[in-house]
Amino acid sequence: MDLPNNPVLRLRAQIASLEGVLADLKTQLIDAEAYYNQSASAKADSSGHLQIQTFSSSPFQPLNHHEKTFESLIDQLDLSQEDNWGRSGKLTLQEHTRYGRQLIMPEIGLRGQLRFKNAAALIVGVGGLGCPAATYLAGAGVGTIGLMDGDTIELSNLHRQILHTQKWLGLSKVDSAVEKLMERNSENHYVAHHCNLDQKRAVETMRKYDLILDCTDRPSTRYLVSDAAVLAGKPVVTASALRTEGQLMVLNNPPKSLDNPGGFCYRCVFPKPPPAESVLSCGEGGILGPVVGVMGVLMAMEALKILSPLHPDHGYQDPTKASCDPIPPSLLLYSAYSNPPFRSIKLRGKRKGCPSCSDTATITEESLKSASSDHAAFCASTSPAPPPNTSRISAKEYSKVREATESPHVLVDVREKVQFDICHLKGSVNIPYSDISRDPEASIDKLDHAISDGNSNTADGVSLYLICRYGNDSQLAANTFKTLPRFQPYAKYDFKGDISGGLRAWTQSVDPDFPEY
């Protein structure tokens, strides 16, 4: 039985599994309470007041607990003010141990660790980028981590969204992430935002944070994150990944303020949105887990660098001083199958008259809230809808065609070969839409060959159907074919239609055993 496809079984399994976790936590709590009560009374018995164990066992004179034998950089720093969540700046003994390995790095040191502890980072999108980014920020001790995502976990997320696990299928990505991050580091404060970034509340939400990580997956949100962050005065680390490649930029760094023009923004680099039909999602284009993982990890590193900039006065002396110079605007490219795989390219930087970040900016907090700057529409406006193909049939109707023995026909599957090889309907012929769009005549020749090789049914007027994954490419292929002479009435092919909804519809309404991928 396929668990994820049966909601009843899946929910039962999740409840059983979570009840197991809960029982385990209760046992741990009982143990912890027993241990805590015991040791607390033991300490109180021996000295009358609580003392730190290591000090009382030292060979030196017992200390008055008010007297300090040590001092640290904390004493010289003014980090006493509380942050948005009422946290102040000092490290506990446990934190010295927990962060010891990064604390001894000259790039971080005590100053950096305290900055992390008092910092608040907002991770927008808890998917392939957000999971690794959040993991490292939580591990590093970033005191407040906001997690924003309105989605629930699907089975196809798990190969790359490393915080989410099987038992959380169908549940909130944000809740799953908070649970896992708490297991890693419960010292931090996690703020759950069970929603997607909303134009009306974006600026207000970002004001509570020091830094924004754009881990989203569509162009409209990327513009919104950048616009809102400029208005809120927060730097942005933005990255994206598709197939075998990733890209990363740091925006609005330093942030725009009254006395600083600020760094470049997303609109400076891409003033116009890409045509919607040129944008592929991970579901359409595919994505390799480690590719998006690498980008998420790089985001975490850039975030840590922003939260704790190198400070020449405190500890770390960079011999080249290079990192203290302003960072030239750049875009990092990662391409897993290229050599070299990493490449940093120099960008033009701030654009004069940028509607978001220049002196003459037209995007304001008010305009962002109102419908006048609808980001989804801004990015969709350049997308002409494909001309509808009038001859479409449903998967159910087509299944009847297949059942009828007196209706010989040809089914052309226009997915890419790699997808066709994963699984296809018996007897279908593969001619990828990319080939059809490149050279329609040659792809018909290929069809002619496939048909005459396969069986004797080569008479004129062969019934022809088209299918693809979701029913988009089959429609485009149909439109291309219909313009060809060989598809005109009374010619060789009698085009019957394409299957609306594609193979997904086939799985849903005809054969649930046909794999969805």
Which segment (181-189, 251-259, 311-319, 348-356) binds Zn ion by CB under 5 A?
A: 348-356
Which segment (62-70, 315-323, 327-335, 483-491) binds other proteins by CB under 8 A?
A: 327-335
Task: Pick what 267 binds: Zn ion, other proteins, none; C-beta below 5 to 8 Å, kind-dependent.
Answer: Zn ion
Asked if omega into 340 is within 30° of 0 (cis), the reply is yes
* 338 near other proteins, judged by CB under 8 A: yes
* 357 near Zn ion, judged by CB under 5 A: yes
**In this complex, which beta carbon is closest to other proteins, that of residue 37 or of residue 338?**
338
Distance CA 8, CA 171 (A): 14
* 28 near other proteins, judged by CB under 8 A: no
DSSP string, 16-62: HHHHHHHHHHHHHHHHHHHHHHHHHHHHHHHHSS---HHHHTSSSPP
Kindly write out the interface string for residues 145-174 of this chain, putting x where it contacts other proteins by CB under 8 A and - elsewhere.
------------------------------
- Is 282 catalytic? The answer is yes
- Cite the DSSP H helix spans in 126-201: 130-140, 173-184
The single residue among 24, 183, 366, 439 that binds other proteins, judged by CB under 8 A, is 439
Asked if omega into 254 is within 30° of 0 (cis), the reply is yes
The single residue among 132, 219, 255, 263 that binds other proteins, judged by CB under 8 A, is 219
Residue 83 backbone class (left: φ over 0; alpha: ψ -120 to 50; beta: rest): beta
Residue 317 DSSP symbol: -
**In this complex, which beta carbon is closest to Zn ion, that of residue 263 or of residue 497?**
263
Distance CA 401, CA 298 (A): 52
Answer for the pair 490, 438: CB distance below 8 angstroms, yes or no.
no
Distance CA 447, CA 410 (A): 9
Backbone angles phi, psi at 95, to 5 degrees: -65, -35
The single residue among 135, 157, 216, 475 that binds other proteins, judged by CB under 8 A, is 216
| 3-state SS track over 360-395 | CCCCCHHHHHCHHHCHHHHHHCCCCCCCCCCCEECH
* 222 near Zn ion, judged by CB under 5 A: no
DSSP string, 87-104: --S---HHHHHHTHHHHT
Distance CA 464, CA 478 (A): 10
Shortest spacing between CB 99 and other proteins, in angstroms: 28
The verdict on whether residue 354 carries a ligand-binding annotation is yes
Residue 430 DSSP symbol: E
- Is 324 catalytic? The answer is no
* 215 near other proteins, judged by CB under 8 A: yes
Answer for the pair 213, 191: CB distance below 8 angstroms, yes or no.
no
* 442 near other proteins, judged by CB under 8 A: no
* 233 near other proteins, judged by CB under 8 A: no
In the Cβ-directed half-sphere of 162, how many Cα atoms lie within 13 Å?
18
* 282 near other proteins, judged by CB under 8 A: yes
* 252 near Zn ion, judged by CB under 5 A: no
* 127 near other proteins, judged by CB under 8 A: yes
Sign of CA dihedral 280, 272, 358, 198: negative
Which segment (266-274, 328-336, 369-377, 407-415) binds Zn ion by CB under 5 A?
A: 266-274
The verdict on whether residue 511 carries a ligand-binding annotation is no
The verdict on whether residue 392 carries a ligand-binding annotation is no
The single residue among 354, 412, 436, 477 that binds Zn ion, judged by CB under 5 A, is 354
The single residue among 90, 159, 438, 482 that binds other proteins, judged by CB under 8 A, is 438
- Choosing from 131, 215, 379, 468, the catalytic residue is 468
Q: Which residues pair with 465 in a beta bridge?
A: 411, 497
Q: What residues are labeled active site?
A: 282, 468
Which positions lie near other proteins, rule CB under 8 A? 125, 127-130, 215-219, 222, 239-243, 245-247, 269-275, 278-282, 285, 287, 292, 295, 331, 333, 335, 338, 343-348, 382, 434, 437-439
Q: Which residues are annotated binding-site positions for ATP? A: 128, 149, 156-160, 173, 217-218
